[in-house]
């Protein structure tokens, strides 16, 4: 797999997409994540830095492990964080929503959202919300790099959304996003904050 390039201000390391295959046979589960996120874990760092098949193919196989256990530590916590963010937005608790967004921003720069997380955004926020718009930008970037067909099959949970009108509308909006002028840098978390009653934070990007 050749290195990916993007117009976003993202280091090349973030553009290496790794597939983690957990379990085998009917219990096999596939997950995708950015290489830089996996490299924070010593085991994955060793796999990706070594001159072995996993590093070259960007596929790591864990046939003896349980996929549900593997991913639960990430997804359950993020569902809770998304719920906190949505409640803070509803209550106009600006600092709390910005703090929650910081955690979600860091997570989703490394891990693709799954169906449950996306549905929570659809059901608790509107399309003008920063988190919804951030998801749209992330999706636009991945669709541009990978193609729509590969994106919609990159996480098996997306298949559960295939007949939802809000998901199909979201994909259309994401594909159109690339044609719009960019007013916020994807990796600049401060650019996605809301500041009406709180002090504006310092942007992490000059762009």
Domain ranges of the chain: 12-68, 76-192
Per-residue model confidence (pLDDT) at position 204? 52
- Is the pLDDT at 166 greater than 80? The verdict is yes
Question: Across residues 155-177, what is the average pLDDT?
Answer: 85
The pLDDT, as a whole number, for residue 160 is 83
pLDDT exceeds cutoff 90 at 120: no
Mean pLDDT, residues 109-128 taken together: 85
Lowest mean pLDDT, pick from 1-10, 75-84, 117-126, 182-191: 1-10
pTM: 0.63
> Which range (17-21, 86-90, 160-164, 181-185) has the least confidence?
181-185
Please state, in angstroms and rounded to a whole number, the distance separating the CA atoms of residues 121 and 79: 10
Handedness of CA 163, 140, 137, 58 (dihedral sign): positive
Q: Is the pLDDT of residue 77 over 80?
A: no
Per-chain mean pLDDT for the chain = 78
| β-strands 29-34, 59-62 pairing | unpaired
Q: What are 9-67's pLDDT values in tens digits? A: 333 344 577 888 888 888 888 877 767 667 767 777 788 777 667 667 788 888 888 77
- CA distances 17 to 5, 31, 44, 142, 195, Å, are 12, 10, 13, 10, 33
Higher pLDDT, 12 or 127: 127
């Amino acid at each position: 797999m050749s290195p990916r390039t993007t117009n976003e201000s993202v280091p090349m390391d973030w553009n290496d997409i790794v597939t983690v295959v957990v379990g085998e046979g009917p219990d096999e589960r596939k997950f995708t994540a950015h290489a830089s996120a996996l490299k924070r874990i010593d085991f994955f760092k060793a796999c990706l830095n070594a001159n072995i098949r996993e590093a070259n193919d960007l596929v790591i196989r864990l046939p003896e492990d349980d996929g549900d256990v593997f991913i639960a530590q990430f997804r359950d916590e993020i569902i809770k964080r998304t719920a906190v963010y949505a409640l803070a937005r509803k209550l106009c608790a600006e600092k709390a929503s910005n703090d929650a967004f910081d955690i979600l921003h860091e997570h989703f720069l490394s891990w693709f959202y799954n169906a449950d997380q996306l549905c929570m955004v659809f059901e608790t926020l509107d399309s003008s919300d920063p988190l919804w718009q951030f998801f749209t930008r992330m999706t636009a970037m991945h669709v541009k790099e990978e193609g729509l067909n590969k994106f919609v099959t990159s996480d098996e949970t997306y298949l559960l959304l295939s007949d939802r009108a809000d998901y199909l509308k979201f994909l259309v909006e994401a594909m159109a996003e690339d044609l719009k002028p960019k007013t916020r840098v994807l990796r600049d978390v401060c650019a996605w904050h809301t500041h009406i009653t709180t002090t504006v934070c310092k942007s992490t990007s000059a762009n």
